Amino acid sequence: MLNGKLDFRSDTITEPTEEMREAMARAKVGDDGREGDPTVRELEEYSAQLLGKEAALFVISGTMGNLVSILAHTRHGQEAILERDAHIFWTEVAGISAVGGLLVNRVAGTDGIMAPGDVEAAIRIAKLHFPETGLICLENTHNMAGGTVWTVAQMAAVKAVAGRHGIPLHLDGARIFNAAVALGVPAKEIAAQTDSATFCLSKGLSAPVGSIIVGTKNFIEVAKKKRQMLGGTTRQGGVIAAAGLVAVRTMIDRLAEDHALARRLAEKLSTIPGLEVNLRTVQTNIVRTTVSGLGVPAAKVAELLAAQNVYVLAQQADTLRWLTHRHVMAADADEAAVAMGKVAETLKR
């Protein structure tokens, strides 16, 4: 329950913890665009170590992290390979094309996981008329597929393809720690499979703002310049980075609770006539339910649920997305499932 609502729309609604608020108030700061902000630097160093990379860069959002990484890896006129339902394709305002100047080549995955052979087949051969493939992006966990997890071996198989062709590999790891917790491996094992990665502090980890890019020292130097070009240097950013430090130091392990709750919610929702829940894809903190059996668009179902104080996202015309996070408890999930059952019953009458 958050502000009196059963709010399952996103894990981005999570509010900073008391410890974060205190750390923000006490943060040592400097000018990030001059000699540097000590707290931002501490967060970057901690994050680089956590992800097993040489260096890291603090950015305002996951969207900015992906765009800065894309700009740092590629040149205008190249092509990037993305999974068909990648967040970068659907919901980053086409920055990859509008700002990055890239053509996008989408490869259909299974539950968001691309087969290495399909990625290889999408790589452009050297031909006068073709654009060059400049980048391959993976997403772990995969948002639109329902929070599905790429295993380390699946990522390694794509890494081998990228390596054979000399193409850089970027990970949109907005929820990399959900993947790490679900797989039971350190996040650095996941990040080791790609040249660069981004992750978000502001989703399940509950920081108010911020994401991190990791990669080699050289890559991060280039990324820093691109971030500046986009107006992303944060001056006394230590005030927000302080919350990010608390997030990476204390909030990762508890993601397992969100995963268990998503499973509980999914199982309850799957018993409601008219709803379809693909339990196979419920691997982390996301549950997707297809509502076409109820005879109305997902947006209408979301509206009826909101009238019952349950808030969900109509992610597609026929699909609702429910996300679990630290402001929803088992009793909240149970109450929401009961409300969903009532809405379904009303619609089926």
Q: Which of residues 141-170 bind ligand PLP (CB under 6 A)?
A: 143
Residue 50 is a binding residue for ligand PLP (CB under 6 A): no
Q: Which of 7, 83, 172, 195 binds ligand PLP (CB under 6 A)?
A: 172
Binding status of residue 9 toward ligand PLP by CB under 6 A: no
Q: DSSP secondary structure string, 89-142?
A: HHSSTTHHHHTT--EEEEE--BTTBPPHHHHHHHSPPS-TTSPPEEEEEEESSB
* Residue 308, burial from CB neighbour count under 10 angstroms (0-12, 13-18, 19+): middle
Please provide residue 214's backbone torsions phi and psi, each rounded to the nearest 5 degrees: -125, 155
In the complex with ligand PLP, the residue whose CB is nearer, 87 or 263, is 87
Instruction: Work out whether 16 is an interface residue with ligand PLP (CB under 6 A).
Output: no
Number of residues in the chain: 349
Pairing of strands 310-311, 6-7: parallel
Assess 211 for contact with ligand PLP (CB under 6 A): yes
SS3 15: coil
What's the distance, Cα to Cα, between the start and end of the chain in Å? 30
40 binds ligand PLP, rule: CB under 6 A: no
142 forms beta bridges with 148
Quick check: 232 binds ligand PLP (CB under 6 A)?
no
Whole-number minimum distance, CB 62 to ligand PLP, in Å? Answer: 2
Measured from the CB atom, is 263 or 321 closer to ligand PLP? Answer: 321
Residue 212 contacts ligand PLP per CB under 6 A:
no
**CA-closest candidate to residue 294, choices 314, 311, 309:** 314
Total residues binding ligand PLP (CB under 6 A): 11
Rg (CA), the chain: 20
User: Shortest Cβ distance from residue 297 to ligand PLP (Å)?
Assistant: 22
Residue choice 55, 72, 174, 191 for contact with ligand PLP (CB under 6 A): 174
At closest approach, how far in Å is the CB of 3 from ligand PLP?
A: 20
Q: Does 87 sit near ligand PLP (CB under 6 A)?
A: yes
Contact between 133 and ligand PLP by CB under 6 A: the answer reads: no
Q: Are 205 and 168 in contact (CB under 8 A)?
A: no
Q: Name residues contacting ligand PLP, limited to 184-203 (CB under 6 A).
A: 200, 202
Site of interaction with ligand PLP (CB under 6 A)? 61-63, 87, 139, 143, 172, 174, 200, 202, 211
